[in-house]
Structure 1
Amino acid sequence: MDELNRKSVEEFKRSDKTPIIAVLENIRSAYNVGSVFRTADAFLLEAIYITGYTCIPPHKEIKKTALGAEDTVEWKQFPNATEVIRLLKEQGYKVYAVEQAINSISLEKIALGNNEKAAFIFGNEVTGVEQATIEQCDACIEIPQLGMKHSLNIATAAGVVLWEVIRNRISQNR
């Protein structure tokens, strides 16, 4: 662990977080939820907000894929996305739905300032982000996909989007 320069739980909780929040709306698979927790830990995200019927910790399937990140990453549960979006906007966050939609912006074109607060909403594995939720967001972003399939697993999509945001911030700090 020392050679990998990993933080302890206490060090993680004291660390300055990236002002990014992942919002999980109606995620069916607890394994996907756990994977997003692990990604949020890897990138020092501020929090995960959970809404709809997405399961919450403690849960054995979340634990299996989160590998302890459910204990390090701050999370909050909300009854619906409207409440989450209202709170985020009041706190100065730009809110993005991650969804293939008319007028969506390609992921590589999103340029956030180094300290800009942003939240990314990831939706249900089959139906995506709810239309009513999309309509409340500042914009919709889409991951470019070049093959025959035009969808990604939600945990994979979260990893791609969150890494792109973090990668851009790392580049700005060099």
Structure 2
Amino acid sequence: MQKTPNENLPRLNVEEFRKSEKTPVVIVMDNVRSLNNIGSVFRTADAFLLQGICLCGISPVPPHRDIEKTALGATESVEWEYFDNTTDAIDKLRENGYRIVAVEQTDKSIMLHEYQPQKNGKTALIFGHEIMGISEEVLAVCDESIEIPQFGTKHSLNIAISTGVVLWDFVYKLRLKYLLNQENKSAFPGMVG
């Protein structure tokens, strides 16, 4: 086994990223306070070629050096918009055909591995404040909620970690599963279906 040098990894430049077909998922940050978490979410959104990010309420916005520290330039590739109020972002997304899905522990949460995104894939995933979670006001206007199964003594994950886990699952269900089941699997060399 030999590590692949960075220059040999298939990478898009910012212009190619902007022109690429996106995964039809938008991340909505409901009053997320950490600059580092916001930067990490940008980087993850870039990795999975997401439609964009909505930063709401107290969520910090680029440009900021602490966001860039973890985003590593992804604030230039990933489209984002700021909203004073998370429900305003949700209203706009719903008008554009997005299903509004809270990533939160609720009495009606569907476990992530059991959840199937809608056929057109257009999903807005809501992530909440690091301590308080998603506000009750925002939960009241979500279509459903999903939850990451956990088995240890803690019952929460850092928001940057949660975003990565949920997005991998969505990208697999919306993009990779289909491609990996095709006869020509060369689009993802080395991947096992």
Identify whether the pair has TM-score above 0.5, normalized to the shorter chain. yes
Give the 3-state SS of the residue equivalent to 1:95 in structure 2.
strand
Q: Could you report, residue by residue, the CA deviation over 1:11-54 in whole angstroms, capped at 9, with x for unpaired residues?
A: 11111111100001111110000000000000000000010100
Give the 3-state SS of the residue equivalent to 1:57 in structure 2.
coil
Give 5+ residue unaligned stretches, structure 1: none
When the two structures are superposed, what TM-score results if normalisation uses the length of structure 2? 0.87
Give 5+ residue unaligned stretches, structure 2: 1-5, 182-193
On the 8 A contact 1:18/1:43 being kept in 2, the answer is: yes
The equivalent residue for 1:157 is 162
Q: State the alpha-carbon separation in 2 of the partners of residues 90 and 81 from structure 1.
A: 14
Q: State the alpha-carbon separation in 1 of the partners of residues 119 and 19 from structure 2.
A: 20
- Is structure 2 residue 38 aligned with structure 1 residue 33? yes
The equivalent residue for 2:80 is 75
Q: State the alpha-carbon separation in 2 of the partners of residues 113 and 78 from structure 1.
A: 25
Q: State the alpha-carbon separation in 2 of the partners of residues 56 and 131 from structure 1.
A: 23
Report the Cα offset of residue 105 of structure 1. Answer: 0.9
- Is structure 2 residue 155 aligned with structure 1 residue 140? no
The equivalent residue for 2:125 is 120
Q: State the alpha-carbon separation in 1 of the partners of residues 163 and 107 from structure 2.
A: 20
Q: Could you report, residue by residue, the CA deviation over 1:87-143 in whole angstroms, capped at 9, with x for unpaired residues?
A: 111111000011111111111111124532001000000000001101100001111
The equivalent residue for 2:48 is 43
Q: Could you report, residue by residue, the CA deviation over 1:122-168 in whole angstroms, capped at 9, with x for unpaired residues?
A: 00000000011011000011110011111000000000111100011
Report the Cα offset of residue 2 of structure 1. Answer: 4.3
The equivalent residue for 2:173 is 168
Give the 3-state SS of the residue equivalent to 2:26 in structure 1.
strand
The equivalent residue for 1:62 is 67
Q: State the alpha-carbon separation in 2 of the partners of residues 13 and 2 from structure 1.
A: 21
| Structure having the higher Rg | 2
Percent identity, please.
49
The number of residues matched between the two structures is 174
The equivalent residue for 2:185 is none
Report the Cα offset of residue 81 of structure 1. Answer: 1.2
Give the 3-state SS of the residue equivalent to 1:158 in structure 2.
helix
Q: State the alpha-carbon separation in 1 of the partners of residues 92 and 118 from structure 2.
A: 21
On the 8 A contact 1:24/1:121 being kept in 2, the answer is: yes
Q: State the alpha-carbon separation in 1 of the partners of residues 46 and 105 from structure 2.
A: 26
- Coordinate RMSD, CA, aligned: 1.0
Q: State the alpha-carbon separation in 2 of the partners of residues 129 and 104 from structure 1.
A: 13
Q: State the alpha-carbon separation in 2 of the partners of residues 23 and 103 from structure 1.
A: 20
On the 8 A contact 1:114/1:172 being kept in 2, the answer is: no
Q: State the alpha-carbon separation in 2 of the partners of residues 159 and 116 from structure 1.
A: 17
